[in-house]
Structure 1
Amino acid sequence: MTASVTGAAAAADPSDCATSFAISGRHLDYIAKHRFERPTLVLDLEAVAAQYRALARGLGRARIHYAVKANPHPAILRRLLAEGAHFDAASRAEIEFCLEAGARGDQISFGNTIKRGADIAFAHAQGITLFAADAREELDKLAEHAPRAEVCLRLIVENSAADWPLSRKFGCTADKALMLMGYAQERGLQVAGLSFHVGSQTRAPWMWEETLDQVAALWQSAIAAGHGLRLLNIGGGFPARYDATELLSAEAYAAEVMARVEARFGGVPKIMAEPGRGLVAEAGAIAAEVLLVSKKHENDLHRWVYLDIGKFSGLAETMDEAIRYPITTARDLEVTGPCVLAGPSCDSADVLYEKQPVQLPLGLRSGDPVVIHACGAYTSTYASVGFNGFAPLDVVVI
Structure 2
Amino acid sequence: MIPNNENILDAVRLVNYPTPFFFTSRPVLKHNYKMFSQLFDGSEVYYAVKANSDSGILEYLAELGCGFEAASSYEIDQLLKLGVNPDKIIYGTSVKPIDHIKYAFSNGINRFAADSKEEIEKIAVSAPGSKVFIRATVDDTGSVFTFSERFGAPTETVKDLVLKVKNSGLKTYGISFHVGSQATNENRWANAISMIRPVIEDLASEGVTLEMIDIGGGFPVVYYNHQNVPHLPEIVSHVRNSLHMLPYIPKIVMEPGRGIVASSTVLVASVISRTVRGGKVWLCLDAGIYNALYEAMIHQGLTQYNVHPFSDQEDSDRMHATLAGPTGDSLDIIARDIEIPSYIDVGDKLIFENAGAYTVTMSCAFNGFPKPELYIS
TM-score (norm 2): 0.90
CA 1:65/1:159 → structure 2, altered by over 3 Å: closer, same or farther?
closer
Question: For residues 355 and 323 of structure 2, what CA distance do their matches in structure 1 show?
Answer: 17
Question: For residues 273 and 80 of structure 1, what CA distance do their matches in structure 2 show?
Answer: 15
Q: Is the 8 A contact 1:71 1:377 kept in 2?
A: yes
CA-to-aligned-CA distance 1:62-112 (integer Å, 9 cap, x gap): 111111112222332232223222111111121122223322111110001
Structure 2 match to 1:371: 351
Q: CA deviation at 1:322?
A: 2.2
Structure 1 match to 2:39: 58
Question: For residues 233 and 347 of structure 1, what CA distance do their matches in structure 2 show?
Answer: 40
Structure 2 match to 1:12: none
Structure 2 match to 1:304: 282
Q: Percent identity?
A: 28
Structure 1 match to 2:160: 179
> What letter matches 2:56 in structure 1?
A
Q: Is the 8 A contact 2:318 2:342 kept in 1?
A: yes
Structure 2 match to 1:395: 374
Would you say how many aligned residue pairs link Structure 1 and Structure 2? 370
Q: Is the 8 A contact 1:290 1:307 kept in 2?
A: yes
CA 1:265/1:100 → structure 2, altered by over 3 Å: closer, same or farther?
farther
Q: CA deviation at 1:175?
A: 2.3
Of 310, 327, 331, the match for 1:345: 327
Structure 2 match to 1:238: 219
CA 1:332/1:314 → structure 2, altered by over 3 Å: closer, same or farther?
farther
Of 36, 57, 64, the match for 1:76: 57
Q: CA deviation at 1:127?
A: 1.2
1:315 equivalent in alignment to 2:293: yes
Secondary structure at 1:28 match in 2: helix
Secondary structure at 1:381 match in 2: helix
Q: CA deviation at 1:23?
A: 6.0
Secondary structure at 1:235 match in 2: coil
Q: Is the 8 A contact 1:59 1:254 kept in 2?
A: no
Question: For residues 96 and 254 of structure 1, what CA distance do their matches in structure 2 show?
Answer: 34
Question: For residues 42 and 237 of structure 1, what CA distance do their matches in structure 2 show?
Answer: 23
Secondary structure at 1:375 match in 2: coil
Secondary structure at 2:150 match in 1: coil
Question: For residues 64 and 238 of structure 2, what CA distance do their matches in structure 1 show?
Answer: 22
CA-to-aligned-CA distance 1:195-247 (integer Å, 9 cap, x gap): 00112222453343322221223322343455432221111122223248356
Secondary structure at 1:264 match in 2: coil
CA-to-aligned-CA distance 1:260-312 (integer Å, 9 cap, x gap): 34323472332211111111211111111112222333xx3x22222211111
CA 1:351/1:332 → structure 2, altered by over 3 Å: closer, same or farther?
farther
Secondary structure at 2:192 match in 1: helix
Secondary structure at 1:312 match in 2: coil
Higher deviation after alignment, 374-383 or 173-182: 173-182
CA 1:247/1:145 → structure 2, altered by over 3 Å: closer, same or farther?
same
Question: For residues 322 and 168 of structure 1, what CA distance do their matches in structure 2 show?
Answer: 19
Structure 1 match to 2:360: 380
Which runs of structure 2 are paired with 1:128-277 in the superposition (5 Å)?
A: 128-203=109-184, 205-224=186-205, 227-243=208-224, 245-246=227-228, 252-253=233-234, 255-256=236-237, 258-265=239-246, 267-277=248-258
Higher deviation after alignment, 270-279 or 207-216: 207-216
Q: CA RMSD in A?
A: 2.4
Question: For residues 222 and 337 of structure 1, what CA distance do their matches in structure 2 show?
Answer: 60
Q: CA deviation at 1:314?
A: 2.0
Q: CA deviation at 1:373?
A: 0.6
> What letter matches 1:141 in structure 2?
K
Structure 1 segments unaligned to the other structure (5+ residues): 1-20
Structure 1 runs, 4 residues or longer, greater than 4 Å off:
246-250
Q: CA deviation at 1:348?
A: 2.3
Which runs of structure 2 are paired with 1:352-367 in the superposition (5 Å)?
A: 352-354=334-336, 357-367=337-347
TM-score (norm 1): 0.85
CA-to-aligned-CA distance 1:352-389 (integer Å, 9 cap, x gap): 224xx2112333212210000111222111111x2110
CA 1:222/1:340 → structure 2, altered by over 3 Å: closer, same or farther?
farther
Secondary structure at 1:321 match in 2: coil
CA 1:226/1:23 → structure 2, altered by over 3 Å: closer, same or farther?
closer
Q: Is the 8 A contact 1:58 1:258 kept in 2?
A: no
Question: For residues 45 and 114 of structure 1, what CA distance do their matches in structure 2 show?
Answer: 33
Q: Is the 8 A contact 1:157 1:167 kept in 2?
A: yes
Question: For residues 324 and 266 of structure 1, what CA distance do their matches in structure 2 show?
Answer: 42
Structure 2 segments unaligned to the other structure (5+ residues): none
